[in-house]
Amino acid sequence: MSATEFFDPNCRRCPRLADYLDHSRETYPDYHCAPVPSFGDPSPRLLIVGLAPGMHGANRTGRPFTGDHAGVILYRTLHQYGFASAPESEINDELSLPGARITNAVKCVPPGNKPIGAEINECNTFLAAELAALKRPVVVLALGGIAHRAVIRSLGLRQADYAFGHAAEHGPEDGVTLVDSYHCSRYNTNTRRLTEDMFGGIFARIREILAEMA
């Protein structure tokens, strides 16, 4: 099943986001400026869930985490741990993510990189469909608290039963292991809340979990 089936390329469900895309398209006519589809393996053992496209990242390139600071760290780490064919993601390259796929809790770029609750909830139907279609067993990596809560919501579970924490592991559903990480944003890495060694440790642990599942 293609990852593009888990989103609507013409979605305008969220008025604020739709208006922001229209404005962005006028300002940056060469940008993607539309909902961003998932990218990677159609049958992944690892699904990475981010927050939303960045204005000059995925909103420009049309590929999750491509063209911004967070993506530099993410793709380099994916390559280091065998989940990417190259350490960089560029428009129109031949990059593949064997065993992994990247998606977002919100498919459209939000003003100030901050989606509101109604937008996160509206877009959750797409994430729920994507998660439901995944072959079990699978690891889901949530990058940040919003992504974590979006995953829990998409599985129809109580937020109070699954607290977000860096390197926390959860078993929200049979065959699903949810792993949390601080988001690899510029702010988190510049403040050292998240270091590359910490981020690498998350993927090393994911490799261990996947080996146990084999």
Sketch the domain layout of the chain as residue ranges.
10-213
The reported pLDDT for the residue numbered 5 is: 65
Helices and strands, number each (H, E), in the chain:
7, 6
| pTM of this structure | 0.96
> Within 10 Å of residue 116's Cβ, how many Cβ atoms?
14
Please identify which residue in the block is written with the tokens 């579970």.
157
Q: Is the domain 10-213 a CATH 3.40.470.10 member?
A: yes
User: pLDDT tens, 15-66?
Assistant: 999 999 999 999 999 999 999 999 999 999 999 999 999 999 999 999 999 9
**Max Cα distance, the chain (Å):** 50
Closest alpha carbon to 17 in 35, 2, 32, 3: 35
User: pLDDT tens, 73-106?
Assistant: 999 999 999 999 999 999 999 999 999 999 999 9
Q: Are 16 and 111 in contact (CB under 8 A)?
A: yes
The reported pLDDT for the residue numbered 3 is: 47
The reported pLDDT for the residue numbered 1 is: 39
